[in-house]
Amino acid sequence: KPLLLIGSSGMAVTLITMAFIFANATLDADGNPSLPGASGVIALIAANLFVVAFGMSWGPVVWVLLGEMFPNRIRAAALGLAAAGQWAANWLITITFPGLREHLGLAYGFYGLCAILSGLFVWRWVMETKGVSLEDMHGAVLREDKTAAG
């Protein structure tokens, strides 16, 4: 859970930085964004830091978490649904980005908002699995649900 929160924060900061830079970019004669001076370097650093934030969090950690959080009897089906959801999200990004390409500031701002929402989702609904054995995970989820409902 902490890695996902750190990753969401890092992704949000870098994406919002990119949104600000590209929203204020000048256009060259062909209509392509131009990032003169420090803005180009900052955009490059932000893009690389985004890769680091994703690579240390949402890239690998979510699959480990998914493998831990479902009971054995539904784990295969749940992981299949999670993989299908990931492919659907990737498809949505692929088909929406060309339309947003004309407004890169808006595109990065939207993706930055998604990163903020992912952090809020983790903070509110993802339980901490550190120190809980795989066998005890389902019982911990049931106890947490009863406490919340109680």
The CATH number that applies at residue 23 is 1.20.1250.20
**What per-residue confidence (pLDDT) applies to 148?**
52
**What per-residue confidence (pLDDT) applies to 118?**
95
Domain tally, the chain: 1
**What per-residue confidence (pLDDT) applies to 54?**
96
Which of 122, 113, 105 lies closest to 12 in space, CA to CA? 113
Boundaries of domain holding 106:
2-149
Judge whether residue 21 has pLDDT over 90.
yes
Contact 125, 5 (CB under 8 A): no
d(CA 142, CA 106): 41
Per the model's pLDDT, the better-predicted residue between 144 and 48 turns out to be 48
**What per-residue confidence (pLDDT) applies to 68?**
80
Percent of the chain with pLDDT over 90: 52
Gyration radius of the chain over CA positions? 19
**CA–CA distances in Å: residue 115 to residues 21, 27, 43, 91, 106:** 18, 27, 18, 17, 14
Judge whether residue 72 has pLDDT over 90.
no
**What's the average model confidence in pLDDT over 34-47?**
92
**What per-residue confidence (pLDDT) applies to 96?**
86
Contact 28, 34 (CB under 8 A): yes
DSSP symbols for 99-117 = HHGGGHHHHHHHHHHHHHH
Per the model's pLDDT, the better-predicted residue between 86 and 129 turns out to be 86
Tell me the pTM: 0.80
Q: Helices 61-69 and 72-100 meet at what angle, rounded to 10? A: 150
**What per-residue confidence (pLDDT) applies to 48?**
98
